[in-house]
Amino acid sequence: MLRIRNKNKFTKRILMLLLVLVCIIGVLWFVISGIISLFNKEDEDTMEDIQGMQTLEETNNEPEVTNEVMQVSSNVGINSEELNQWNLKLVNKDNSVDSSYVPELEEIDDGVMFDKRAITYLKEMINAMYKDGITAIWVASAYRSYEKQEELFKNKVEYYIEQGEEQEEAEKLAQTVVQRPEMSEHNLGLAADFNTVTNEFEETKAFQWLQKNAQDYGFILRYPKDKQDITGITYESWHWRYVGEEHAKIIKENGYCLEEYIDYLKGAEEV
């Protein structure tokens, strides 16, 4: 049997040995933990790189959104709001205005009435022409009541009948010059007929000025020479329509007639 002569000394040695073992184990644990953390960090970085590459690949595979598509989306977003504006009301053989409709009017000259909301722009435009030395300009006709438009249409029909046309053909011919009641822009009070109301107006300085500047005051040439198949109305150099400056500039820039511009606002792919 082993006999321990100095128990205290033996106990101290055992404790020292245990302390050393604890320190060694602690150091080993620290080293092992560091190695494990290093491998985990590398794995995380690798996963981030893979995810980043996948995201980039998905982005590159997405269909390209062109400016044209964005433009159509923009148009679609403004359709209902824009098309309901009073100044963009489309009136023609396919779009009538109620016979009871009478806008709030204001006199522009000697009993000639115009929509009160737009008359300021008409006056400003005429004043600008005067400042540029063009004084031979006046509004011969603007707002017309249902009854007045009916009278003008019947008179034109009778004219063609006197020329030998049958009733039906006379009405068709009349409608290319004078719209039927409820189908005339003059019922809106937004159209102005200048001077002698003939295409002699095309030869005047006033017409040339309007061609260059009218859009700045919100007016457009309503029935252009090259749009007769769309408007259904023969060329009228004297007939100018208020639509608002923003719209007038787009119409002028793109060479639209009002029918085409309305289609553009509806998001038509081709105009």
Tens of pLDDT, residues 217-227: 999 999 999 99
Q: What is the pLDDT of residue 271?
A: 60
Q: What is the mean pLDDT of residues 235-253?
A: 98
Please state the pTM of the whole predicted model.
0.67
Q: Tell me whether residue 58 is one of the annotated catalytic residues.
A: no
Q: How confident is the model at residue 76 (pLDDT cuts 50, 70, 90)?
A: very low
Of 121, 162, 116, the C-alpha closest to 143 is 116
Q: Which amino acid is at 43?
A: D
pLDDT digit string (tens) for 172-202?
A: 898 888 888 889 999 999 999 999 999 999 9
Which residue is catalytic, options 82, 151, 182, 236?
Answer: 236
Per-residue pLDDT, 75: 44
What is the C-alpha separation between 268 and 264, in angstroms, rounded? 5
User: Is pLDDT at 64 greater than 60 in this prediction?
Assistant: no
Dist. CA 184–CA 30, nearest whole Å: 93
Percent of the chain with pLDDT over 70: 73
Q: Taking 60 as the threshold, does the pLDDT of residue 63 lie above it?
A: no
pLDDT at position 125, please?
Answer: 98
Residue 86, amino acid: W
What average pLDDT does range 82-95 have in this prediction? 90
- Per-residue confidence band for 149, with pLDDT thresholds at 50, 70 and 90: confident
pLDDT at 200: 97
Structure tokens at 180: 């039927």
Q: Give me the mean pLDDT over the 230-235 stretch.
A: 94
DSSP secondary structure letter of residue 97: -
Q: Answer yes or no: is pLDDT of 62 > 50.
A: no
**Please, how many CA atoms are within 13 Å of residue 133, restricted to the half-sphere of its CB?**
2
Q: What is the pLDDT of residue 19?
A: 73
**Whether pLDDT at 68 is above 70:** no
